[in-house]
Structure 1
Amino acid sequence: MTDLAVVDSVDIQILVDNVTDSLSSAPAFVESEFAGLGRRRGAAWVLGGACLCCAAHGLSCLLTVRSGDAARMILFDSGPEDRTFEQNVSRLGVDLGPVEAMVLSHGHWDHAGAMLRALQLVRDRNGGRDIACHMHPDMFRSRAAKLTDGSFRPMEDVPSIAALEAMGGHVVLSRVAQTIVGDTVFVSGEIPRVSGFEPGLPGQHRRTEDGKGWEPDELLLDERFVAVNVRGKGLVVLTACSHAGVINVLTHARASFPGVNLHAVLGGLHLSGINERIIPQTVKALRGFDLDVIAAGHCTGWRAMTALCNEFGDGKLTPLAVGKTLRF
C-alpha cells in the first residue's frame, strides 16, 4: 500500500475505554483526562464529579491526523452504548464536526453500540453532511457465544446498513485494504492468521445464512485495523480488539508496508478470559517487532498488562484510559 501518505503527526483521543485513570504518571506524549480538561478549560476549571468521563467495556478512539496546516479527523469505533459515548464527548469538550469518516473495527456491540448516536452528533455539528462509514460486509450477521451447556447467548447486533443510512451514514463495504481521508489513514483488509497460536474468540458462533441456526465463527474475519505513517516515527497501528491476534495484526502491518518502521500498537489485545493462556507466547512474539510504544487497554486484561510491564517496562508500555490523548 504505497499510497499511504506520510503525515506529520497523529493525536489519538480515547473517548471510551474500560478504565479511568487520571492520577498515574504518564510519558510526555500522553495527556491524561484531568490534564486535558485543565488545558481546555483554563484557570476557571474546578475539579468535580460533573467533569468526569465514564469508563465502560468497549473502545472508541478519535484520530486527528495532521500534515502541514491540514488536519483530518476519523472516529474509530464508538464504544458500547449512547450514554457513555455522548457523556464523554461532552465532558471532554470534543467537537465532532470535523469527523470525515467512521471506521468500525469488527462486528461486536462493545465497539458499535453508539454508532448511530455518534453519526447524529457528528452531523449536528457539520451542517448535516453524510459521513462515510467503513465496514466489512460480514459485520452484520448476528452473533452468539456458545455456553458450556450447549445453549447460545446472543450478542446485540451492530446497527444495520439501513439504520446507518437513515442516520446519514454512507456505508462503504470492503473486504480489502484501502486508504481513506486523503490517503492519510490505512484501513486493513482481512487479516491473515499466521502466528499458529492465536485462536480468535473460542466459542463464538454466528447465524447461518438462512437464519435458522448457528455456525462456528471463532476467527472473526471481519476484523480490521487502521494505521497511520508518522514522519520520523513510522506506523502507528490501532487494533481495537485483536480477535485476529495482535501478532497476526503486526505481522500483516509489517508485510503491508515493508521497510517502514513499526512504531506503536494501540488498543485492546484481547488477552483476557480464555485467551489468558496465550499471554506467554504473545509477549515473547512481541519482542520481535521492537516497538517503541505498546499502548494497551480495553480487553487486554490485568494479567496481560502485568506480563507486558514485566517484559517491556514503562518505557514501552502505556496503559490506555478514557480521556487520555496520545500524540505521535
Structure 2
Amino acid sequence: MMDRTSKCRYTLAVQRCVFLFLSIVASSIALANPYKITVLATNISDYGGLGEWSFSAVFEGEEESVLFDTGFKSGTVLHNVLHLGVDLSSVEKVVLSHFHSDHTGGLLVLRDYFSGSNPKALSTVYVAKGFFSQRLTDTGVGVGPGAFTSALTFRNEAEKRGINFIEIEGPAEIAPALWLTGPVPRKIETYNGPKGLFIEIDGEATPDLIMDDQSLGYLTPKGWLMTSGCGHAGLINTGEVLQEIKDAPIYSIVGGFHLWRASDQVLNQTADWLEKAGLELMMGGHCTGIAAAETIASQLGLPRSHISHAAIGSVITQDLTIIRSSVE
C-alpha cells in the first residue's frame, strides 16, 4: 500500500510520461504529415488570377487536406483554383475563420462545383462558437456570412447542399498536426478590426467584437505555423492559445492579421512578442498591410527569403520554403 505522498509522486510521474508520449506523437505526426500551403485568394494577384480584399488558402497533405476560408466574391476562389490547377474535390474539410463575407463568400459555389466529383467535397465546415450570431448595422439592417443578410439563411442554404457545420468552443485537432484555436480569449489585444456592427444581447444592441474569430495552427517540426483570416482576436492572443496547446515557437505566420492601420506602438508590441516567440517565416496577406509586414520583418531582421506579401499562387512548401507567385 502506498501512502498519500507516494501516490501523488506516482501520479505526477505518470502524468509526465503521458505528456512526453503525447509530445513525441505530436512531433512524429508533424514530421509524417507535411502540408503544402497555397494561397487561393488575397489582395494581390499573379498573372491570370483574381485578386480581391479577402483570403483563402489550402493545406494539401498526403493523408488529407483542409481549405482555410473561401474568399469574398462567390466565384473568386473557384476561378483561382482552376487557374492554378488546384483540385479541391478531395478536400472534405473547410475552416471559416469568422463570419465576415470576405472569408465566407465562396463556400456555396465551391461546394456546388466540386461535390459532383466527390459527394463529400467541402462538406464539413468548422466555425467557432458565435459564428451564426445575427449581426445588425446601427440602423437595424442584417449582415450575415457571404452575400446573405441573414446568418440563418446562409446556414440553411449551406445545409441544403449537404454541408455539415461543426461549432468549435475550444482548441481542437481537426486533421493530423492541424489545430483550431476556437474562440480566442482577449487577454492582451481586446479587439483588432472594424466597427459598426452589433449583436442583440438581452434585447440590447451590443458592439460586435467578432468573438467567433479563430485561427488554424499547423504544428511543424520547427514550431507553429499560425494562419489567420484577419486575426480580429489579436495576433498575440492567438499565438498564446497555440502555445498553450503545445509549448513551441511561433515559427511562421500566414494570412491576414489586420495591421494595415495599426499604430507604431501596436506594431512594436507585436514585433517584440513575435521576436520572443521565435518568428522566422512570414507570409502576411490580405489585411496585414505591406508596410506593417515590412516593419515587423525589419525589426526582427528577417531575410528577404523568409518574408512574402502573399499573392494568388504563393506557396509554402512541405519543407517550409517560400515559392513566390509571378507578381509577388
Scaled by the length of structure 2, what TM-score is found? 0.78
Quote the residue 1:216 is aligned against.
207
Alpha-carbon distance between aligned partners in 2 of 1:213 and 1:94, rounded to the nearest angstrom: 46
Alpha-carbon distance between aligned partners in 2 of 1:303 and 1:129, rounded to the nearest angstrom: 37
Alpha-carbon distance between aligned partners in 1 of 2:107 and 2:182, rounded to the nearest angstrom: 21
* Paired letter, 1:287: E
Q: CA deviation at 1:323?
A: 1.3
2:279 corresponds to which of 273, 291, 298: 291
Quote the residue 2:41 is aligned against.
16
Alpha-carbon distance between aligned partners in 2 of 1:18 and 1:188, rounded to the nearest angstrom: 25
Scaled by the length of structure 1, what TM-score is found? 0.78
Task: Look up the SS of the partner of 1:88 in the other structure.
Answer: helix
Quote the residue 2:310 is aligned against.
320
Alpha-carbon distance between aligned partners in 2 of 1:264 and 1:96, rounded to the nearest angstrom: 24
Q: CA deviation at 1:137?
A: 3.5
Quote the residue 1:143 is aligned against.
135
Larger Cα-atom Rg: 2
Alpha-carbon distance between aligned partners in 1 of 2:224 and 2:219, rounded to the nearest angstrom: 4
1:246 corresponds to which of 235, 238, 247: 235
2:178 corresponds to which of 160, 185, 201: 185
* Paired letter, 1:265: I
Quick check: 1:106 aligned with 2:108? Answer: no
2:258 corresponds to which of 267, 270, 275: 270
Task: Look up the SS of the partner of 1:299 in the other structure.
Answer: coil
- Does the 8 Å CA contact 1:17/1:59 hold for their aligned counterparts? yes
- The 1:299/1:275 distance shift into structure 2, 3 A limit, reads farther
Alpha-carbon distance between aligned partners in 1 of 2:31 and 2:197, rounded to the nearest angstrom: 39
- Does the 8 Å CA contact 1:18/1:57 hold for their aligned counterparts? yes
Task: Look up the SS of the partner of 1:124 in the other structure.
Answer: coil
Quick check: 1:307 aligned with 2:295? Answer: yes
Quote the residue 2:57 is aligned against.
61
Give me the CA root mean square deviation. Answer: 2.6
Q: CA deviation at 1:127?
A: 4.1
Query: What CA deviation, in whole Å up to 9, does each residue of 1:266-297 have, x standing for no partner?
Result: 11110123667622222222221121212111
Alpha-carbon distance between aligned partners in 2 of 1:276 and 1:167, rounded to the nearest angstrom: 46
Q: CA deviation at 1:223?
A: 1.0
Quick check: 1:119 aligned with 2:107? Answer: no
* Paired letter, 2:162: G
- Does the 8 Å CA contact 2:89/2:121 hold for their aligned counterparts? no
Quote the residue 2:159 is aligned against.
165
Paired residue total:
285
Task: Look up the SS of the partner of 1:305 in the other structure.
Answer: helix
* Paired letter, 1:6: A
* Paired letter, 2:243: R
